[in-house]
Amino acid sequence: MTVSVAPNAVAAVSEARLWQRLMEMAEIGGFVSEEGDTGVNRPCLTTLDRTARRLLISWAERIGASVTIDPAGNLFLRLEGEDPSLPPVLTGSHMDSQPQGGRFDGIYGVIAGLEAIEAVATAGIRPKRAIEVVAWTNEEGGRYAPGCTGSMSFADFRPMSDFDDIVDAAGIRYADALAEQMASESDLATRPLGYTPHAYLEAHIEQGPRLEVEGREIGVVSGIQGSRWFTVTIEGRSDHAGTTPLGLRRDAVQDMVRAITALNALMHDPDDVLRFTVASIRVEPDTSNSIARRVVFTIDFRHPDKAVLIERGDAITGVVEAAMTTCTATVHERFHALPVDFGATVPGAVAAAATSQGLSTITMPSGAFHDAQFMVPLCPTGMIFIPCRGGVSHHPAEYAEPVACANGARVLVQALLTLANS
């Protein structure tokens, strides 16, 4: 292995330590699925999330990193550089999971970031700039939709107060859950919300099959496709299922079926680039012998082309309204993130690091959204993907090989040092 930059730090990455930490974290919220897979259910701003954060902090303190939190609950671990006055290089990801999530989505980028600063500290290297590892609040959007509320607040993409009144399934407001977390972490030093990093680099599992299928070790991520999230509420009237003639019904489920059929036509894409998903449906009163008076369903719509994202996304409301026969529909957009391009700086540092370590790469866009996309307006940004088995993610069977995890951390530390010395 030839390494042109920081060979000692690259060599100090420990595959065993990284793996052991990932597995230890996976116990916090860990469960075994019906199929026998070991998954993770660790919603943001819960006791489980806080337990995971404390474990991370305990590891960070052992290597002399300083710990701070910002008003959005984002957690920062800082390894000081030669010149503390310079903007740091930022790395990290998220620690929350999907309700039926895996052991790698998000947490891998945080643990790989910690491994990177531990390797730098162990190698006795002091880069020009500090390196900070961040654990962003609520990336997944599983408990509080939309996701990425921590990074969006940090980057001033949306004001923090926009999220205050979002409620979880139990009716708990986001602002209250965040306040509870801030209170329980009141022993930690605080910092103001947001700053302009020198660069941002996030490591993540690919969450798709390309690296595995093409037999490559590292994905150099070129950008992230755009996403728009909507909730559709259809209002009808509840009536007796046994007695009400069809012609007199205002059945919210029947109009929902028409709306989804019309949306499938709107979103038809013979090239299979467009992503359109309806995955959460709430029916009221939710009983088999009363006609549904209300249905609320979600739309997750993604596309790499901004024009398509805007045109088809903007058509959703009209298509849903036109599909109604007896009910009324309202469409609310709750997340709108345009596609981003990472440019050359950070992907270049990632590609150079991987190549110098003898690792094979492909340059690829991300289909999943990530906190990284909100850093693009702030600073040069990029991501490192590692392969995951079968491309499976947002599923308990999600798996990345220990060697793949270590490869990603080695590329991460080298690219971070390149950026931190620039």
Query: At closest approach, how far in Å is the CB of 303 from ligand GLV?
Result: 13
Token pair for 239: 């009536």
Interacting span for Mn ion (CB under 5 A) from 16-24, 101-109, 314-322, 407-415: 101-109
Query: At closest approach, how far in Å is the CB of 221 from Mn ion?
Result: 13
202 binds ligand GLV (CB under 6 A): no
Q: How far apart are CA 314 and CA 308, in angstroms?
A: 10
Angle between the N-to-C axes of helices 345-356 and 402-420, in degrees from 0 to 180, rounded to the nearest 10? 120
Query: At closest approach, how far in Å is the CB of 265 from ligand GLV?
Result: 24
Query: At closest approach, how far in Å is the CB of 338 from ligand GLV?
Result: 15
Q: How far apart are CA 152 and CA 154, in angstroms?
A: 6
Question: Which residue's Cβ has the minimum distance to Mn ion?
Answer: 106
Give the residue among 237, 180, 227 at the shortest CA–CA distance from 47. 180
Token pair for 243: 């007695």
Give the Cα-Cα-Cα angle 195, 199, 205 (nearest 5 degrees). 110
DSSP state of 371: G
Nearer residue to ligand GLV within complex by CB, 373 or 414: 373
Query: At closest approach, how far in Å is the CB of 207 from Mn ion?
Result: 7
Q: Please choose which of Mn ion, ligand GLV, none residue 369 contacts, taking the beta carbon within 5 to 8 angstroms, the exact cut-off set by kind.
A: ligand GLV
Size of the site for ligand GLV (CB under 6 A): 3
Angle between the N-to-C axes of helices 402-420 and 15-26, in degrees from 0 to 180, rounded to the nearest 10? 110
> What residues contact 7, with CB distance under 8 A and at least 6 apart?
none
Look at the block and give the residue holding tokens 């969450």. 207
Nearer residue to ligand GLV within complex by CB, 28 or 145: 145
Q: How far apart are CA 154 and CA 74, in angstroms?
A: 8
Nearer residue to ligand GLV within complex by CB, 140 or 251: 140
108 binds ligand GLV (CB under 6 A): no
Nearer residue to ligand GLV within complex by CB, 103 or 129: 103
Q: For the segment 224-253, give every residue that binds ligand GLV (CB under 6 A).
A: none
337 binds ligand GLV (CB under 6 A): no
Question: Which residue's Cβ has the minimum distance to ligand GLV?
Answer: 368
Nearer residue to ligand GLV within complex by CB, 115 or 140: 140
Task: Rule CB under 5 A: choose which of 88, 106, 382, 408 binds Mn ion.
Answer: 106
Nearer residue to ligand GLV within complex by CB, 105 or 115: 105
Nearer residue to ligand GLV within complex by CB, 368 or 417: 368
Nearer residue to ligand GLV within complex by CB, 178 or 368: 368
Query: At closest approach, how far in Å is the CB of 111 from Mn ion?
Result: 13
DSSP string across 189-234: EE--S----SEEEEEEE--SSHHHHHT-SEEEEEEE-EEEEEEEEE
Q: Are 326 and 236 in contact (CB under 8 A)?
A: yes
140 binds ligand GLV (CB under 6 A): yes
Question: Which amino acid belongs to residue 366?
Answer: S
Query: At closest approach, how far in Å is the CB of 284 from ligand GLV?
Result: 26
Instruction: Sketch the per residue contact string, 36 through 65, with ligand GLV: x for CB under 6 A, - otherwise.
Output: ------------------------------
> What residues contact 136, with CB distance under 8 A and at least 6 apart?
74, 92, 93, 94, 148, 150, 151, 154, 371
Nearer residue to Mn ion within complex by CB, 76 or 136: 136
Q: For the segment 266-285, give every residue that binds ligand GLV (CB under 6 A).
A: none
Intra-chain end-to-end CA distance of the chain, in Å: 24
- Burial class from Cβ neighbours inside 10 Å (0-12, 13-18, 19+) for residue 329 reads buried
105 binds Mn ion (CB under 5 A): yes
> What residues contact 17, with CB distance under 8 A and at least 6 apart?
115, 118
* Residue 44 Cα distances to 22, 37, 177, 237, 370, angstroms: 18, 22, 9, 36, 15
Q: For the segment 358-417, give every residue that binds ligand GLV (CB under 6 A).
A: 368-369
Query: At closest approach, how far in Å is the CB of 139 from ligand GLV?
Result: 6
Q: Which residues bind ligand GLV (CB under 6 A)?
A: 140, 368-369
